[in-house]
Chain A
């Protein structure tokens, strides 16, 4: 099923990016913007872009030999041709099956090289997002859910609603204006009091974080992504905790005289964390969106930034690789959440 989904998705992306207006845009951005229609057609025809879509898709997969045109002077152009290759070196097949992810027309580099470094960057961002988001969401959820309807519950629930209502581009803007501005917000104020050296508390861009992530340049992106996802997980945890707290075995424990703290920590917590686990896993694809926005906003060259860049320039093979990766993320997290659910929930394991 996963494989079928992946094929369908990549084919849709392939189809959409190979529509003629998109190809025309590609040709003009690769050649020059004042190309005539005939020049565009010959550019595309030489490189095999004008074949039927299923044929091109098979070539991308590596099931069919890549398209090649031999020019008059003996040089070759086509799908498998890379800059710096002599005409004889050009392989017949160059597709996913051969381990070749294609050539990025935007970055002028093989897709695999570019995307690899981008994924490392995004992985680092996601790691810190998880480190910030999951514990704080679970703590908020458990505190709110252990005494349902109390003042703490109401306050924390409102906080989590507020955080789900703040999309990344809103919280990012507010954070930058408040914490990263040299003229407004907290930075100059703290500077006047002599607590920080620079004028701004944090940096409004994460460009330097790609080489060396510091508290100064990485806090805001991480915080921005974490905030939006946090509220949702917290609400799920709260609901699950509140449900567990009304269960029979909790009442029995209370009647036995177990202290409230012990009930929460020893009896309720484990059972309450089953449902949020699934939510956290399913949150990954969701976070991907946030990552795209945040990476664009803080100009952090990760996976999301690459997506926007590739889509904006109709960098077909890069876009396809990006969609394969994101589909894999979605499907793998679904799988993990199913397996993890069975593993964590003893009721399902036995039956």
Chain B
């Protein structure tokens, strides 16, 4: 078996072209930044009859050149990807092979973007996202990882090897090394090399995305439920309730996050069952939220409300009990035949601590928004109408606070991803061989200056996901402000 190079034989023609275009692009961007300070700014003149005269000055020309070179660059990247998918692995090298492994993701992305752009006028805020370039790039990055996680986690498609399997002779091998002692049906290369325990770096990175995608969005959602359920009454009623809750929130926020993690997420603490009790308290908030949400809306129609509420509560409680009770842990209330799923202690404690760290910030945001919105006329109108306080909070204030909350939700998923990485980096919570990005970075950093390849892929993966979420939030903010 030959060792794979980065771009294979295909690269011998394509690489020089790509490098040249990339250098031209960088040079043009530099020229553009300098020129924007020296030369006259671009000014298109709008005439009275509605026509526009395009500025043909030097700055406009540079701007146009940058745009076309960027397009050429994107086209070249697309050619690399397409070539990787259609040609055999040896011709297109590592990049092509990775592109080929990811082909279901590309397909899903193309379908998503085509559908969304075609129907964007009917899709509300989501559709408007496709008007802003920043938002689209962010959305693309996020969806790339979402699809990767789904295909890898649920269908076991993208990864080339088992992320935990160690193959002798593959320790610290550089990217593109052929698998030693390959058997029938094995993928023949370690595309991004092997780590210090001879596991495949590429497969671990892909498997890590599934761990992040399982925990981060859900934990953020839970933190929002907790923050909203406590923040709305604190902001709406004010007074002593607000003082007490704000004090508690500030108390948690005054802890350095890492100290909190070290106090909460150690095997010794898991042994005492404190995380389970915290889970018990924290996970009840979504149920309260749901119950109050439905009750305040439908209490005037008891015939609809009573069955709806009962059904929702029964299902929610069942999920709640199966969530918190696990065999052998401190709380085991449900008999095992009723227990829907068991969450491993490590994952549960990570989940709980991340929710715990995030909810005070959400609380503060919601409280601030509620204090602002409760002075509006429509709230006064609802009060005169005789609506109950919870109806006003959940059906008048909350929908009107959705803009900032959606933006913060995106940012917060990113922050949660960073927190998960921090936990992994300190080796807390998740088992040490777990392929999550933080642990992988931690494993790889010890030999970083000699073998950088095991640590860099998860680092870039985490970076791109968080960057995507931040760009997405930026795009959403821009578009929601335009209304």
Residues of chain A at the chain B interface (Cβ within 8 Å): 1, 5, 8-9, 12-13, 16-17, 19-22, 24-25, 150-152, 155, 157-158, 161-162, 164-167, 169-170, 172-174, 176-177, 180-185, 200, 204, 285, 288-289, 292-293, 296-297, 304, 307-308, 311-312, 314, 319, 322-323, 326-327, 330-331
- The smallest beta-carbon distance between B247 and chain A, in angstroms, is 8
- The smallest beta-carbon distance between A288 and chain B, in angstroms, is 5
Asked whether B449 is an interface residue with its Cβ less than 8 Å from the other chain, the reply is: yes
Are A19 and B463 in contact, with the CB atoms below 8 A?
no
The answer to whether A9 and B254 touch (CB under 8 A), given A22-B268, A165-B463, is yes
The answer to whether A165 and B450 touch (CB under 8 A), given A170-B459, A311-B262, is no
Query: In the complex, given contacts A21-B271, A170-B462, A319-B259, what are 11 additional A-B residue pairs having Cβ atoms less than 8 angstroms apart?
Result: A21-B268, A151-B33, A152-B33, A162-B467, A165-B414, A170-B460, A174-B460, A177-B452, A177-B456, A181-B452, A326-B255
**Complex CA–CA separation, A185 to B456 (angstroms):** 12
- The smallest beta-carbon distance between B423 and chain A, in angstroms, is 11
Residues in A neighbouring B232, C-beta threshold 8 A: none
Are B259 and A151 in contact, with the CB atoms below 8 A?
no
Residues in A neighbouring B262, C-beta threshold 8 A: 307-308, 311-312
Residues in A neighbouring B263, C-beta threshold 8 A: 12-13, 16-17, 311
Are A161 and B474 in contact, with the CB atoms below 8 A?
yes
Are B467 and A165 in contact, with the CB atoms below 8 A?
yes
Are B36 and A152 in contact, with the CB atoms below 8 A?
yes
Residues in B neighbouring A157, C-beta threshold 8 A: 474
Asked whether B272 is an interface residue with its Cβ less than 8 Å from the other chain, the reply is: yes
Asked whether B421 is an interface residue with its Cβ less than 8 Å from the other chain, the reply is: yes
Are A170 and B441 in contact, with the CB atoms below 8 A?
yes
- The smallest beta-carbon distance between B418 and chain A, in angstroms, is 5
Are A180 and B63 in contact, with the CB atoms below 8 A?
no
Asked whether B429 is an interface residue with its Cβ less than 8 Å from the other chain, the reply is: no
Are B258 and A289 in contact, with the CB atoms below 8 A?
yes
Asked whether B209 is an interface residue with its Cβ less than 8 Å from the other chain, the reply is: no
Residues in A neighbouring B463, C-beta threshold 8 A: 165-166, 170
**Complex CA–CA separation, A238 to B268 (angstroms):** 46
The 8 closest A-B pairs by CB, nearest first: A311-B262, A177-B452, A21-B268, A165-B467, A181-B449, A165-B466, A16-B263, A170-B459
The answer to whether A296 and B426 touch (CB under 8 A), given A5-B254, A326-B259, is yes
Q: Can you sample 23 A-B contacts with CB below 8 Å?
A: A22-B268, A151-B32, A151-B63, A158-B134, A161-B467, A165-B463, A166-B466, A167-B418, A167-B462, A173-B444, A173-B448, A174-B460, A176-B452, A177-B448, A177-B455, A180-B449, A181-B448, A184-B452, A204-B449, A289-B258, A296-B426, A323-B255, A327-B255
Count of CB-CB pairs between chains A and B under 8 Å: 152
Can you list, as one digit per residue, whether each of B451-475 has a CB less than 8 Å from chain A (1) or not (0)? 0100110011011001101110010
The answer to whether A173 and B456 touch (CB under 8 A), given A152-B33, A322-B259, is yes
Neighbour of A169 across the interface among B33, B37, B63, B425, CB < 8 A: B425
Neighbour of A22 across the interface among B269, B422, B466, CB < 8 A: B269
Residues in B neighbouring A200, C-beta threshold 8 A: 449
The answer to whether A173 and B459 touch (CB under 8 A), given A151-B36, A167-B422, A296-B426, is yes
Can you list, as one digit per residue, whether each of B257-269 has a CB less than 8 Å from chain A (1) or not (0)? 1110011101011
**Complex CA–CA separation, A13 to B449 (angstroms):** 37
- The smallest beta-carbon distance between B99 and chain A, in angstroms, is 23
Chain A residue at minimum C-beta to C-beta distance from B29: A155
Are B256 and A285 in contact, with the CB atoms below 8 A?
yes
Are B256 and A174 in contact, with the CB atoms below 8 A?
no
**Complex CA–CA separation, A35 to B266 (angstroms):** 21
The answer to whether A164 and B462 touch (CB under 8 A), given A183-B449, A204-B449, is no
Are B467 and A173 in contact, with the CB atoms below 8 A?
no
**Complex CA–CA separation, A165 to B414 (angstroms):** 8
Residues in A neighbouring B269, C-beta threshold 8 A: 16, 19, 21-22
Residues in A neighbouring B449, C-beta threshold 8 A: 176-177, 180-183, 200, 204
**Complex CA–CA separation, A200 to B449 (angstroms):** 9
- The smallest beta-carbon distance between A309 and chain B, in angstroms, is 10
Neighbour of A311 across the interface among B63, B134, B259, B274, CB < 8 A: B259
Asked whether B251 is an interface residue with its Cβ less than 8 Å from the other chain, the reply is: yes
Residues in B neighbouring A12, C-beta threshold 8 A: 263
**Complex CA–CA separation, A20 to B470 (angstroms):** 42
Asked whether B250 is an interface residue with its Cβ less than 8 Å from the other chain, the reply is: yes
Residues in A neighbouring B271, C-beta threshold 8 A: 21
**Complex CA–CA separation, A164 to B256 (angstroms):** 19
Asked whether B438 is an interface residue with its Cβ less than 8 Å from the other chain, the reply is: yes
- The smallest beta-carbon distance between B262 and chain A, in angstroms, is 4
The answer to whether A204 and B448 touch (CB under 8 A), given A17-B263, A19-B272, is yes
**Complex CA–CA separation, A161 to B459 (angstroms):** 17
Chain A residue at minimum C-beta to C-beta distance from B466: A165
- The smallest beta-carbon distance between A145 and chain B, in angstroms, is 15
Residues in A neighbouring B459, C-beta threshold 8 A: 169-170, 173-174
**Complex CA–CA separation, A176 to B462 (angstroms):** 17
Are B254 and A308 in contact, with the CB atoms below 8 A?
no
Residues in B neighbouring A293, C-beta threshold 8 A: 258, 422, 425
Asked whether B445 is an interface residue with its Cβ less than 8 Å from the other chain, the reply is: yes
Are B256 and A326 in contact, with the CB atoms below 8 A?
yes
Residues in B neighbouring A173, C-beta threshold 8 A: 441, 444-445, 448, 455-456, 459
- The smallest beta-carbon distance between B142 and chain A, in angstroms, is 12
Q: Restricting to B52-101, which residues have a CB under 8 Å from any CB of A?
A: 63
Residues in B neighbouring A288, C-beta threshold 8 A: 256
Chain B residue at minimum C-beta to C-beta distance from A147: B41
**Complex CA–CA separation, A157 to B467 (angstroms):** 12
The answer to whether A165 and B470 touch (CB under 8 A), given A152-B36, A176-B445, is yes
**Complex CA–CA separation, A25 to B268 (angstroms):** 8
Can you list, as one digit per residue, whether each of B185-207 has a CB less than 8 Å from chain A (1) or not (0)? 00000000000000000000000
Are A169 and B467 in contact, with the CB atoms below 8 A?
no
Chain B residue at minimum C-beta to C-beta distance from A328: B254
- The smallest beta-carbon distance between B138 and chain A, in angstroms, is 9
Residues in B neighbouring A25, C-beta threshold 8 A: 268
The answer to whether A292 and B452 touch (CB under 8 A), given A165-B466, A167-B422, A173-B459, is no
Are B250 and A5 in contact, with the CB atoms below 8 A?
yes
